Amino acid sequence: MIPATTTRVEQQTDDEINECIRRQTERNISHLAKQGRGEINRRLDELDREWDIERTLEANAASISLVGLGLGAFVDRRFFLLPAVVAGFLLQHAVQGWCPPIPVFRRLGVRTAREIDVERYALKTIRGDFDKLAPDLKQEIGDREVTRILAAVDR
């Protein structure tokens, strides 16, 4: 069975590594909750620039493929196999959430987009971004409420 897109990498990652990443996220949130709004804002900016596992893997695969193409063109045609192998690993990652570089990147602390979002939305909650936004579900939610909610999520 094909795992869910949002959790496929975590499902294929060793539980000990997932737990280490989760604990670091908790420490970040706990520390920043005591630091105040300015530090939370700074951290949110950092989170916007943090490379997730997908971006890291894509950059790694593209780099190795380009090296393989260059070596294949100028050194030995057998190096053309390298981009083919990388493409196979990318397909395996897309379907299963695992390929050979993933355990290395995860041990280095590279997080999934979902894991980054957990920290982001915890900090936004502490900062108060969602205060007074919960709509009364007994009433119809209008465009104005939807716009306010999306603005809070997006900031």
Q: pLDDT above 90 covers what percent of the chain?
A: 82
State pLDDT tens for residues 47-83.
Answer: 999 999 999 999 999 999 999 999 999 999 999 999 9
Determine the length of the chain: 155
Nearest to 15 by CA among 3, 26, 27, 23: 23
Residue 1 belongs to a domain: no
For 94-147, list the strands marked E by DSSP: none
Residue 134 belongs to a domain: no
Residue 122 belongs to a domain: yes
Give the pLDDT of residue 1. Answer: 81
Nearest to 19 by CA among 107, 124, 143: 107
Local confidence pLDDT in tens for the 155 residues of the chain: 889 999 999 999 999 999 999 999 999 999 999 999 999 999 999 999 999 999 999 999 999 999 999 999 999 999 999 999 999 999 999 999 999 999 999 999 999 999 999 999 999 999 999 887 776 666 777 788 788 878 887 76
Q: What is the number of structural domains in the chain? A: 1
Give the pLDDT of residue 26. Answer: 97
Domain limits for position 24 = 8-129+141-154
Across the chain, mean pLDDT equals: 93
Nearest to 127 by CA among 44, 47, 49: 44
Residue 16 belongs to a domain: yes
